[in-house]
A and B are shown apart, each in its own frame.
Chain A
Amino acid sequence: MKTKNIIISGVGGQGIILASELLSLAAMEAGFDVKKSEVHGMSQRGGSVVSNVRFGEKVYSPLIEEGTADVILSFEKLETLRWIHFLNPQSGVCIVNDLEIIPVQVSQGKGEYPGDIMERLKKKASRVYLIDGVKYALQAGNPRTANTVLLGALSNFLPIEPEIWEETIKKRVPPKTIEANLKAFWLGRDLFKD
């Protein structure tokens, strides 16, 4: 198998590190070599955050090269656009959470939040999926499981069995939220049933 390259992006505080941790642990459980890289520190304070996850038989670079990401999973719309040049131009998939978090410059009235993000993404990627993570998270019974909904959607594009995802979620999320997270995972996964 060719090494799988997944970019998870969003805004500091959105739970990107935990989501990429779940993905990495699931890939490890599935028997793959895994590397995941992200930068801490300054990025925590509401800044742009990105995590690179790579898994396969043997992974060397922890960083994904421009033009080679199989999936960009983004928890915020603008943060998908920021990393779009990493996507494989032929086969890459974008999974976008339908959420806008306004950067400070924009909220200060200096600069616009682009209104045409989806159009711009579609020009560069053949498959772009917009998912209302919070809507399904509420269905799952906990609005904070939106990330798990998106991981469920992502799982359709990766060679990791759902049982392994379930086990990983059970091991890693707070015990009280296991049920909601499992529900959220399946709601996301089933979005691509057809």
Chain B
Amino acid sequence: MISTFKLVFSNVKFIGISLLIFIPMLVVLLTISEYIFFEPYVISHIPQGSEFGFTLIVILSVLSAIVIPMNIYRINMLKISKQKMGGGVFGSIIGAAAGACSCGPIGFAVISTFGSVGATATAFLTNYEIPIRIIAIAILAVTYFTTVKSLKIECKLDPSS
């Protein structure tokens, strides 16, 4: 597993891709979930009782930053079909959507635009924010293991390594 990880991230290009996913995703998710504020001052803040939500966002961002570059590696370096890219992207998107639509500007815009349908959708995403993020993390974890497995087979790595 480690050798597969090293295989992908020994290439500086993929470290760059990973950082390009991790940093914006973490900053955007922490901002819309109100852990970071930019106005009127730049300040970070973890309210009491919100520590678990913060941890899930960090895990989600780390997993996305690992799984998506590994899949890009498979597609680019091994010229394999894009089919398996879906799990990583899907997991990242649903994880990001959860909690984005609460009482903040995104939820307000959605409800103002779509009325009661928007309100129902945002209420669902807010009410089930934590379970949705856990499901997203599970999808990313499964995608990670299947990617590692297929890389081992496709790159003919020693399965015991």
A and B are partners in one complex rather than unrelated chains: no
